[in-house]
Amino acid sequence: MAKEKTMQRGYRDVGYLLAPRVKQFRPAHISVRSWFKQVAILGEHIEANDKTAVKNWIHAHYPALIQLVPERRRSELVLGLLERTLDDRH
């Protein structure tokens, strides 16, 4: 399990820290009700361990964020999201 104050795993840490805050980071153009539906869809992708669907979801909802992450490192961001979700279940 990663510790927030000692992280040094690059974009995986970004995904790890983003995971519990996704509900809070609603894009302005999406209504609250729609956002919670989208977050539930993300949860389904995570539950299914569908890394491609998670990456596509991030791309669709956080395009500015994904553009900051080099293409070859985007899988690390996804792995961080998945890892945090698993850590939070235990």
Per-residue model confidence as pLDDT tens digits over 73-83: 999 999 999 99
Whether 25 contacts 88, CB under 8 Å: no
Domain residue spans in the chain?
A: 31-90
- Could you tell me the CA-to-CA distances from 29 to 6, 26, 88 in Å, in that order? 35, 8, 29
Mapped onto helix, strand or coil, the DSSP state of residue 85 is: helix
Predicted model pTM? 0.84
Per-residue model confidence as pLDDT tens digits over 44-55: 999 999 999 999
Q: pLDDT confidence of 1, banded at 50, 70, 90?
A: very low
Per-residue model confidence as pLDDT tens digits over 22-35: 999 999 999 999 99
Q: Could you tell me which of 86, 82, 89, 36 has the C-alpha nearest to residue 61? A: 36
CA–CA distance, 27 with 36 (Å, rounded to integer): 11
Work out the percent of the chain whose per-residue pLDDT is above 90: 82
